[in-house]
Amino acid sequence: MSCEIDPRLCPIGVFDSGVGGLSVLGEAVRQLPHEDFIYFGDTYNAPYGTKAPEQVRELAFGIVESFCARRVKAVVIACNTATAEAAKELRAHYSFPIIGMEPALKPASELEGPGLRLVLATPGTLSSEKYASLYARFGQNAVSLPCPGLMDFVESGDRGSPALRDYLEHLLQPYLHENVTAVVLGCTHYPFIRPLIASFFPESTRILDGNAGTVRQLRRVLRQKDLLKTEGTGTVTLETSGNDQTLTLMKAMFEEAKEMIS
């Protein structure tokens, strides 16, 4: 459904299984300061990364349909798992642009050096056909590391508890004495714990995510379709399927997300 007055004035919908997509939203606000955003964190149904593909698709369609009622001009799926499992079907169903995420494996493959590229992501992302295709093209020297439960630490606001440190040490231990050129953060929750992940590696190891690239693609598509808003002060509306406590956490993490990329 299009905006009745000027489609450029319509908002952009952004959604994730919880708070992780706020890392994408922070980047979007930086690159597109005039745009209005509606963010929905589906905390009640989190995590998506361990759900069956058909469950993820059903949830994604429900959210995008609710965005339609708000007359959005585009949707950003700020979730690697939902992108992998639902983006193709959503694009076939809706006429407005739908921008998804993918792990930054291509940029990692383009870095100099023969070292490993570690890809941290949810089981759902790593088992998807979309990731298999990405890996087939850019997976040389890449190791895929499923991280069930890692996003749960971020959802609770954890940045460095002993339990989280133990989780990461157990996950990364086999590679700590290897030559690791890059670590790819293949879930939008993980940038919130980027400093902790980076602390396990030498300073020369690059820590990459796909947030900036996704927002650049959003900007390109909006410009191509003459949907880019170029004047005025943008707004952000945060919503969740969780409770008031979740919304309070989301507000704090959104401010943190803006600080991370400032």
Catalytic residue numbers, as ranges: 79, 187
- Convert 228-243 to b/e letters by CB count within 10 Å (16 or more is b): bbeeeeeebebebbbe
The whole-angstrom separation of Cα 192 and Cα 151 is 10
The whole-angstrom separation of Cα 181 and Cα 141 is 10
Residues 190, 195, 200, 206, CA torsion sign: positive
DSSP 186-238: -STTGGGGHHHHHTTS-TTSEEE-SHHHHHHHHHHHHHHTT----SS---EEE
DSSP 80-91: HHHHHHHHHHHH
Q: Are the CB atoms for 205 and 181 separated by under 8 Å?
A: yes
